[in-house]
Chains A and B, each alone.
Chain A
Amino acid sequence: MSRKKELPSLWSGLDRKAMAVAEFTLRQQRKRLSTWVVLLVGMAAMGVLTMFYIDSMTRDYEAIDNDGDSYDWDGDGYPNGQERLHGTDIHDPDSHPGLLDPPVLPDDASVWINEDDFDWDALEEGSVGYDDNGDCNVEERTESQKDANRNRIPCDIQLTLNQYSGRYSVLSDGNVDEDPDDEAYALEAIHRSFVLAIGKLGVVFLIGIFVPLFMATGLIRQEMTSGTMHFMLAKPIARSEIFLYRILGFLAIAWTYVTLLIVLLAIVTGFAGPSEGIFRFSDLGVWLSVWLAALLAIMVYSMLFCMLGVLWKHGMVLALPIAAWELGMILTTLGAPDAAILRFSVIGWAMNIVDAGAALAWSDTPLLIQMGIWGGGYGPLEGAEALNTFASTPGLNLSALATMAVSGLVLVGQAALCWFLGSTLFKSKEIE
């Protein structure tokens, strides 16, 4: 009856045990109602948030006359903008372009709404903008009026990037890009805000922390209290291996779940968001970084919470303050992504990855924020403040790819540390 055929190598032996424990854990979790409840609640929460997003994408945004030049103050039938363009008096009903030679027919008021959108493409020069409606470069205006920002280029906007804050300062010559397309801006800004908000707060934080909290805290502890751990501990397998392979089994579920969730979100927002084609391929880079951050965050949290479960019967009680700390940290990343305190969190590093991914995929976000906050010189446009809240510059002062690499390594290191501490604790535990 002895079984001494081929001697399995160390690796194949490990591999068999790892697969057995991971597979066992996966099947065990799958049989539990609580698993499905947690996963469905997470899915439902993301679904509800997505409905708000769909609503804001399909809503009509009122076109606002930001610079007020569609009004006809003197009641002569010519909008102020048209009168300014032709140099007639906007306050005098007897002075209007209709009296000029040749006479000019009055424009409809709507022509003077959203008539001067952003033309901020030529970034490198620092000089952007184009006077679409020609109300800056009017003959009657003096040269100093045309070049209010004194960069010796008339009727432009001077953008200066602040290297430290990553923000632009906007100096306009006046009447340039002063009446942007509110709807186009709002859709783009709200879309990006939503992708970042649900990616960071929803997927990486909420799913990333709560799925491990409910599913990984008991991975070792539940088996210890129910007495079923005895079967596994009576086999030639080290406790640190059991710890690791149980986590692997959990990750098989959690990683699949979060991947599915992100794919769904990417598809829905890709089709629903504003786009020139059918699908917003430009967002995929952001989703990829959300995915990477979520996988790593789930890995660290599951190791951490599983360790707390080994440490104490009520590991969940220990995990909750940590979840609260992480919540504080993710709120900090929104306002101060380079705060040093974020180094002592998991979520701070995960957020660096998302921010770096967003910086690569949407390199014009800081500009978009500044456009909206400037809003043609007439206050923030709808969506600008939301985007300003959820978009942050990656906090390490490194290039985007380097930020991703460093943050990824730190997260892997954190997971390894929790595994080491968890298995050390587990090894020193007497199992009754």
Chain B
Amino acid sequence: MIPDVTQQGRPPSSDSLPPTPNFPVVYFHGVTKSYGRIHALSNITLALSGGVTGLLGMNGAGKSTLFKLLMGKLRPSAGEVKLFGTDPWKNPAPYAKVGFVPEHEKMHDWMTALDFVSTFARLHGMTRKEAQKEALRVLEFVGLADVANKEIGRFSKGMRQRTKIAHALVNDPELIILDEPLQGCDPLARTTIMNVIRELGKMGRTVLVSSHILNEIERITEQIVILHQGKLVALGNLHAIRERLDQIPHTIRIVGEDARSMAKDILDHPAVFGLSFPNETELLIQTYHFGQLHAELPRLIVENNHRVSVIDNPDDDLESLLNYLAGGSA
């Protein structure tokens, strides 16, 4: 382990000040976490400050491991993790400025939402009264004010998730970490939670949110970090990453009345290099210039009077993105 020379033995200097400009809010340097010979994370270097960042990766990619390292629950096998410039494994002080929403489903079901949030608020050093007040404020913020006095055990998945988010916001944190906050939620809860996250971003907080569903993240933020098999494969703007995707072969699926006649009109397009018909009404188009073709398809269809019910992109999921990125960067 790399010795921690910057803060050993003394309290974080940035206790009452905003994070020192030298230190990003979240800082990973060459971090590896291994279990025996399995690397859950390998050689991650990353620095984040401000804005909403989506952490994207399939199940087992290392998203939760990364969060747990950041929350001082795991000790890095190699490298350096800093939270507000402090080693979180050794010092819980930076958590005063952090809100963490764990992915675990288990909660203290016997407590009411208000109890739950205010009990943990008191661990930030609030009095009972302050905690109560702050808890009501954050429950209002996540839209649970009317059920604040109901037991968590009776909550739906989405309400539980929002209670966890409220508990993480109660100390008015500068950094909010949400581990798979949308998993298992119904569409309405998803929308509410996404709005809450976007709102936090607008308020200038640093937000880290993980998901394994690309389009969920897309709806929240453009700034993403992609993990695949414990490696950091991409970092930056989602659209920029997507543009690179255009360079690889893509499939577009069209479902319409007469697939064969549609094929005739589309075959001439220079971007198309292959066609296939899984059945009478379905057409699969292979292309190297996904963006260009995708933009022109509607015009081609309208001009030739085809009746189309579905145009979609079966490849446009996380897995193909990851396969491409992992292959390309390896």
Contact = CB atoms under 8 A, between A and B. Distances in A.
Interface of A: 1-4, 8, 12-13, 16-17, 19-21, 23-24, 27-28, 31, 226-228, 230-239, 430-432
A234 B71 contact: yes
A17 B106 contact: no
A199 B71 CA distance: 47
Interface string B125-137: 1110011001000
Given A236-B95, A236-B96, A1 B102 contact: no
A431 B68 contact: yes
Contact of B127 (A4, A16, A226, A228): A16
B47 interface: no
Contacts of B92: 233, 235-239
Nearest to B123: A235
Interface string B98-130: 111010111110110000000110111111001
Q: How large is the interface on B (under 10, 10 to 19, 20 to 34, 35 or more residues)?
A: 35 or more
A1 B172 CA distance: 7
A21 B123 contact: yes
B74 A430 contact: yes
Interface of B: 16, 68, 71-75, 92-96, 98-100, 102, 104-108, 110-111, 119-120, 122-127, 130-131, 134, 167-168, 172
A27 B74 CA distance: 29
B302 to A, nearest CB: 51
A20 B123 contact: yes
A17 B125 contact: yes
B236 to A, nearest CB: 28
A37 B235 CA distance: 55
A55 to B, nearest CB: 42
A188 B126 CA distance: 56
Contacts of B104: 227-228, 230
Contact of B123 (A226, A227, A232): A232
Given A17-B125, A235-B123, A227 B102 contact: yes
A228 B107 contact: yes
A8 B123 contact: no
Contacts of B134: 3
Nearest to A230: B102
B12 to A, nearest CB: 10
A236 B122 contact: no
Contacts of A17: 122-123, 125
B73 A3 contact: no
A236 B12 CA distance: 12
A233 B71 contact: yes
